[in-house]
Amino acid sequence: MANMPSIPKGTRDFSPAEMLRRKYIFNTIERVFQKYGFLPLETPAMEKLETLTGKYGEEGDRLIFKVLNNGDVWGTMDPEVKAKLVKGEEVHPGRLGAELSGKALRYDLTVPFARYVVQHRNEITFPFKRYQIQPVWRADRPQKGRYREFYQCDADVIGSKSLLNEVELVELIGDVFAALDLQVVIKVNDRKVLSAIAEISGQPEKVVDMVTAIDKLDKIGQEKVEEEMRAKGISEPAIATIAPLFRLSGTWPEQRKKLDKWLGGVPLAQEGLKNLSTVFGAVGPLKNATLEFDPTLARGLDYYTGAIFEVKSQEGNMPGSICGGGRYDDLTGIFGLKDMSGVGISFGADRIYDVLLETNKFPTELGGSTRVLFANFGEKEAMYALKLLRTVREAGIAAELYPDAVKMAKQFKYADDKGIPFVAIIGENELKQGIVTVKEMKSGEQKAVKEEDLLSIIS
């Protein structure tokens, strides 16, 4: 036990049973992505460090996994930095980090996507719709539903300002959760509305602080939110001005009326509200989802500029969001390509997994597992079973022959453990009569049939 191998903090192995369930989620999401015209893209696990730093805010930079340079790190170090280290003098952590590491694991899929778009701008036809299902890494401290390696399933459309994209993404979200049979609520807001609120409060420069505080409303309550705003240097009158935000209940048309009265004079708010109304008006019926305007929805990432989305499960006990996204007007600007508006969403496969498992929503038949096991009675019988095995496989049915002629109990237990529904038995008697005995594991029923009738029983 002392030498039991293990894996790094916050990472996980996925057993075959878990992988079948995970693939079910990925396949479902991928199928819907394709149905909406998104095409697949993959980018490397590693990006250049400079591509990632500064894109996720100060907090985000800290959570980027850096990859140590290969080769002679010491020999190739900047002489100035080297001299300081030799003298035992302090070197700025960022400066030292840049010397030791030039690449890092991707933190999300959106920034690498932006990098890709800029790098390949001449080959891409816009609007460009891509989906991407890959792991991302964050050097965060792990908790429940929070890992250091986890999968994101992103769909973005870049190069179009049309609100039809927002509408389609909402319907796409609805489609995914209908397919997964999970009841969700899709919350929407618009950054412009939040900015307008900051404007009328008289402290527009405090948008980010206001927004991150407001975002916590459902978790900590109005009082604590106001406390945090005070701590961030937001004035009492400003806090009082914001207060109506917390009383915006009702349907969207009702909320819109209140908002018009409150923020109507601010052009930015007009724009945001008009956009929201367009989305609410155009979205078709959703099967397993309700669409709600949530004025306190903010989302942390700085690059969102328009609509923002967040999806929460109505079932199970998952406090965090299982899907999120929004519009960004200038994501590619930082890489030198201006005026490229995009909008995208990201499904958190790992959290969706946890919810589906907790609520027992995974289909019982997940496929991928063998349908029939041929028992092995010895060389002669096995050779005969091998022939039947091929015809079963040719019919497209997953089948296997137990490789060793061990006792029956062990072979049946193998079938039981692996959830194989049928066991085909060809022993001495069956061989002589040209028949095969088929046992259905669930009922325990067993019958002898002619070889040619085998397929109709197990399919």
Partner RNA sequence: GUGGAUGUAGCUCAGUUGGUUAGAGCGCCGGAUUGUGAUUCCGGAGGUCGCCGGUUCAAGCCCGGUCUUCCACCCCA
Q: Interface with RNA by CB under 7 A: which residues?
A: 1-2, 6, 8-11, 57, 59-60, 62-63, 108, 138, 140-148, 150, 152, 212, 216, 219-220, 228, 299-301, 320-324, 346, 348, 350-351, 407-410, 412-413, 415-417, 423, 425, 427-430, 437, 439, 441-442, 444, 446
Q: How far is the CB of 56 from RNA (least distance, A)?
A: 7
DSSP state of 367: S
Token representation of residue 153: 């399933």
Question: Is the CB of 226 or the CB of 269 nearer to RNA?
Answer: 226
Q: Which is nearer to RNA, 263 or 423 (CB)?
A: 423
Residue with tokens 């730093």: 53
Alpha-helix runs per DSSP H in 103-251: 110-119, 164-179, 191-200, 207-214, 217-231, 236-242
> CB-wise, 1 or 68, nearer to RNA?
1
| Smallest gap from residue 143 Cβ to RNA (A) | 3
Please, which residue, 102 or 300, has the CB nearer to RNA?
300
In DSSP notation, 73-128 reads: TTTTS-HHHHHHHHTT----HHHHHHHHEEEEE-S-SHHHHHHHHHHTTTTPPSSE
Residue 240 CB, nearest approach to RNA (Å): 22
The residue (of 314 and 437) whose beta carbon lies closer to RNA is 437
Nearest-approach distance from CB 221 to RNA, in angstroms:
11
- Extract the tokens encoding 257: 């009326």
Nearest of 186, 166, 190 to residue 174 by alpha carbon? 186
Residue 369 structure tokens: 């597992």
At closest approach, how far in Å is the CB of 239 from RNA? 17
Which among 424, 392, 398, 399 is positioned nearest to 411, based on CA atoms?
424
Size of the chain in residues: 459
Cα separation of 195 and 309, whole Å? Answer: 16
Q: Which helix (H) or strand (E) holds 414?
A: helix 408-417
Q: How far is the CB of 414 from RNA (least distance, A)?
A: 8
- Beta bridge pairs of residue 46: 105
Name which of 86 and 409 has its Cβ closer to RNA.
409
105-110-111 Cα angle (round to 5): 60
The nearest distance, CB 99 to RNA, in angstroms, is 18
Query: Hey, what amino acid is at 275?
Result: N
The smaller minimum CB distance to RNA, of residues 64 and 340, is found at 64
